[in-house]
Amino acid sequence: MAANNSSSAPSPLEKTSLASLDQKLVMAKRYAHEGVIAGTRAAIVAGIATAIPTVASARMLPWARANLNPTAQALIISTVAGSAYFIVADKTVLKTARKNSFKQA
């Protein structure tokens, strides 16, 4: 009769691989959190840096006053802020993961 491997205790190799997977999951969550923080900061800065000239030009320039209603202004500002968030978050996650992968190698 063959022994059932699912009821036997895990081998040391399996324990190491499960611990390694848990460690990798914890590290991935940390990298993602760092990316979220960096992306949020970048979005705030980009939003402010875009809002000031957009709103000022919509009030002062005749073309912008005629063509940039509040919805268009909000769309411009949110597009720049959203783009900054995703670009910086992605770069931060990749940079952190790359840096730590070189430490482990």
pLDDT string in tens for the chain (105-residue length): 555 555 555 555 555 677 788 888 888 899 999 999 999 999 999 999 999 999 999 999 999 999 999 999 999 999 999 999 999 999 999 998 888 777 766
Overall number of domains in the chain: 1
Residue 16 resides in a domain: no
**64 within 8 A of 76, measured Cβ to Cβ:** no
Q: Is 39 in contact with 88 (CB distance < 8 Å)?
A: yes
Contacts of 4 (CB under 8 A, 6+ apart): none
Identify whether 17 is part of a domain.
no
Considering the domain boundaries, does residue 39 fall inside one? yes
Give the three-class secondary structure for 76: helix
- Spatial distance between the Cα atoms of 85 and 41, rounded to a whole number of angstroms: 8
Burial class of 41 by CB neighbour count within 10 A (0 to 12, 13 to 18, 19+): middle
Asked whether residue 12 is assigned to any structural domain, the reply reads: no
**Position 63 in a domain:** yes
Q: Say if 67 falls within a structural domain.
A: yes
Q: Is residue 24 part of a domain?
A: no
**Residues of the domain holding 38:** 31-104
Residue 75 has what pLDDT?
Answer: 97
pLDDT at 84: 97
